[in-house]
Amino acid sequence: MSESAQVGAQVAIIMGSQSDWETMKNAAAVLEKLGVAHECRIVSAHRTPDRLVDFAKTAHTAGFKVVIAGAGGAAHLPGMVASMTHLPVLGVPVESKALKGMDSLLSIVQMPGGIPVGTLAIGAPGATNAGILAASILATTDAALAQRLIAFRQAQTDAVAERPQ
Ligand code: RP5
């Protein structure tokens, strides 16, 4: 995992397994592009429950403003983190082998009322969008980041050709 601790990280990208990194690195990549300091960690709801509790309960005091949580299968990680922090939690359903991520999606998106998880698309597009959305949230109180976000979106628009080649 190339992105580890960055000074003053505002976004925590956590994932249930090393195997999720292939997907979650897309969130890190877009945050890198937008100049948002972030930190990536493996926190498994099932295999490292104590690490999960410790992370979730200290995320706010550690200075994080947004948490991006990716997991696959019976994906409890985003919901469990959301239950222990008031920070916004963005959930990324990682594509699973058996059910192609439908299991991940449903287990992340179907939160009972009261504890929200902002759920993105299955797989890499969801991870990318989680990164952009985290930046959008931070940009509401960061004018310089808002300008970088606007430029990023404009570049995407400019890259679309008028006609197919
Ligand atoms: C989940 O189980 C992880 O988020 C991962 O998506 C899935 C499989 O994990 P590994 O068996 O590859 O470690 O907890």
Distance of alpha carbon 103 from alpha carbon 98, whole angstroms: 9
Residue 5 is predicted with a pLDDT of 62
CA triplet 127, 129, 135: central angle to 5 degrees?
Answer: 110
Assembly ipTM: 0.96
Q: Which of 1, 19, 68, 81 to mutate to test the pocket of ligand 1 (most atoms within 8 A of CB)?
A: 19
* Block residue for tokens 């179907």: 110
For 1-74+87-124, CATH number out of 3.90.1640.10, 3.40.50.1970, 3.40.50.2000, 3.30.360.10 equals 3.40.50.1970
Residue 61 has phi, psi (to 5 degrees) of -70, -20
Closest by Cα among 19, 18, 38, 15 to 145: 38
Q: Give distance in angstroms: CA of 7 to centre of ligand 1.
A: 28
Does ligand 1 come within 6 angstroms of the Cβ of 94?
A: yes
pLDDT of residue 126: 98
- Nearest-atom number in ligand 1 for the CA of 16 is 4
Q: What is the pLDDT of residue 102?
A: 98
Does the CB atom of residue 17 touch ligand 1 within 6 A?
A: yes
Q: Return the pLDDT at 1.
A: 45
**Stated pTM of the model:** 0.96
pLDDT along the chain (165 residues), means of 10: 67 98 98 98 98 98 98 98 98 97 98 98 98 98 98 98 95
